[in-house]
Amino acid sequence: MQKYVGFILLFEGDKRRVKLPVKGTDSFDTVTEAFMQGGTDVTATYNSDAPAVLGNMLMSSLIGGNASIPHGNYRLYLSGKLSNQNIYSYYWDVLVLPKDGSFLENIPDEDYGPLIAELVLFEGDNWSKTVILPGADISAVTAVFKLDSEDKTSAYCSNAATYTNDEITTHTIGGLATVPAGTYCYFITATYNNSEAVTTFFFKINAIPKQGIL
């Protein structure tokens, strides 16, 4: 038996471990895992550690723990074996996105919402923003300011992205130079939960010129 569990959204460089409690089951003896790209098993390429069993709970390996998973569609299977030798398989559909604004339309909302907010930046303005991940034990933060696939961080942003406990402060966007008109994305990648999770969020930023009514 195969059963669809849900959808997992990752950005390139993200990591995730998923857990599945199976109702009506006392305990699994063993679990195996397959991370598939089409018909190719890429588990050993991208995932670290091993899947595990805790009673009636199946736990995946660390998805993306071995290497950054490239943009694409994948499927994660966990197969639990019971004491009576019956095996039951469960799967998640996995979408991995690049940190590129041109790929961010119509993101499925079944997993988490990576878009923090859509903001307006007038040419010549500069500011930083604060983001709170409630209860997250953050150990590292990276951030990048992009125009589609082009990294514009060093051209327009001053200071650096920082964190304190569960609070993240962005670069000062526009702090180095005026940001020209255009649609940008500011991606924040946070490492937390003892490095068991690396998750990306983003602001969509519309830089617009100062002009009168036309």
107-146 pLDDT, tens digit each:
888 999 999 999 999 999 999 999 999 988 999 999 999 9
| pTM for this predicted structure | 0.91
The total number of structural domains that make up the chain: 2
Helix (H) or strand (E) run with residue 117 in it: strand 115-122
Query: Strand 72-81 and strand 30-37: pairing?
Result: antiparallel
What distance in Å separates the CA atoms of residue 115 and residue 102, rounded to the nearest whole number? 14
Range of the domain at 56: 2-96
Mean pLDDT of the chain: 94
Q: Which of 63, 96, 129 is the last residue of a domain?
A: 96
CB 117 within 8 A of CB 123: no
Within-domain flag for 162: yes
Q: pLDDT above 70 covers what percent of the chain?
A: 98
Q: What is the pLDDT of residue 92?
A: 97
* Euclidean distance between CA atoms 40 and 35, whole angstroms: 8
**Residue 212 pLDDT more than 80?**
no
The label of the residue with tokens 């079944």 reads 110
What six digits make up the tokens of 48? 């670290």
- 78 and 164 assigned to the same domain: no
Task: Compute the distance between CA of residue 126 and CA of residue 117 in angstroms, rounded to an integer.
Answer: 17
The SS3 call for residue 193 is: coil
CB contact at 8 A, 126 and 172:
yes
Which residues, 6 or more positions from 24, have their beta carbon under 8 angstroms from its beta carbon?
none
At residue 200, the pLDDT reads: 97
Q: Are residues 92 and 12 in the same domain?
A: yes
